Amino acid sequence: MEKIKLVIFDLDGTLIDAYQAIEKSLNFVLRHFGLAAQDGQKIRQAVGWGDLNLLKPFLKKDQLAEGICLYRKDHQASLKKYARLYPQVKILLKYLKKKGYRLAVASNRPTKFSLIILRVLKIKDYFDYLLCADKLKFGKPHPLILNTIRKKFRVSADQALYVGDMVIDLLAGKRAGMRTIIVTTGSSNKKEIAASQPYLIIKSIKDLRKIL
């Protein structure tokens, strides 16, 4: 990939495993409303569309406003306790920086919580830019977030690579005209990913080093 100058990463399911933190916070909200706790797999399938959309399948409309406030308050502490990097993420990021790539994060997570993750896990300084859906009119799978990052660095679509874990990441990448690599550590299963025809599918984020 000689043309690539910019590598954009999704966050959840791609670089970090925050599923336990999400599960803890969502079930905290459900208990508050006297609702049954949900298992991790069902919650995992709802991840990736932003925290408000995460809550919608589990709460009534008149519970959402209070629910999102409760979720976000709990999630600040939950992320600090339970979020983890996938193996060799720091090694990969250090390698890419050394090779001269510009690095960015594009996440449907709110900015506040994305920054908590990057700071607590000590990877914020590897990134040149962070952009989250709460700063834009549209989140993924709309390509706006990727196009905005690309334009900031003044590179063409074929000079940017996007790495995510979900079909919505792949849709966003394709709509932005970027080569998109999907790692199978996140919310979408391999069958769903393969059906959407990404540029490449990898089993672990560490495999990106071999590609770049």
Rounded to whole angstroms, the Cα distance separating 195 from 208 reads 21
pTM value is: 0.91
N- to C-terminal Cα separation, the chain = 6
Question: What is the spatial distance between Cα 72 and Cα 110, in angstroms, rounded to a whole number?
Answer: 10
In Å, the largest CA–CA distance within the chain is 55
Average pLDDT over residues 199-207: 95
Residue 176 CB neighbours (<10 A):
23
Section 135-142 average pLDDT? 96
CA atoms within 13 A on the CB side of 21: 24
Q: What is the mean pLDDT of residues 167-177?
A: 96
For 47-84, what is each residue's pLDDT tens digit? 878 888 999 999 999 999 999 999 999 999 999 999 99
Q: What is the pLDDT of residues 13-49, one digit of tens each?
A: 999 999 999 999 999 999 999 999 998 888 888 887 8
Whole-angstrom distance, CA of residue 61 vs CA of residue 37: 18
What the chain holds in terms of domains, given with CATH numbers, is: 6-17+84-211 (3.40.50.1000), 19-82 (1.10.150)
- Distance CA(59)–CA(161), nearest Å, equals 37
Nearest to 165 by CA among 180, 142, 183, 149: 183
**Are 206 and 88 within 8 A, CB to CB?**
yes
pLDDT at 135 exceeding the cut of 80: yes
Residue 1 confidence (pLDDT) above 80: no
Residue 108 tokens read as 């449907």
Among residues 137, 19, 3, the alpha carbon closest in space to that of 86 is found at 19
Q: Give the pLDDT score at 50.
A: 82
Instruction: Give the pLDDT of residue 46.
Output: 82
Whether the Cβ atoms of residue 212 and residue 101 lie closer than 8 Å to each other: yes
Residue 2: its pLDDT value, please? 66
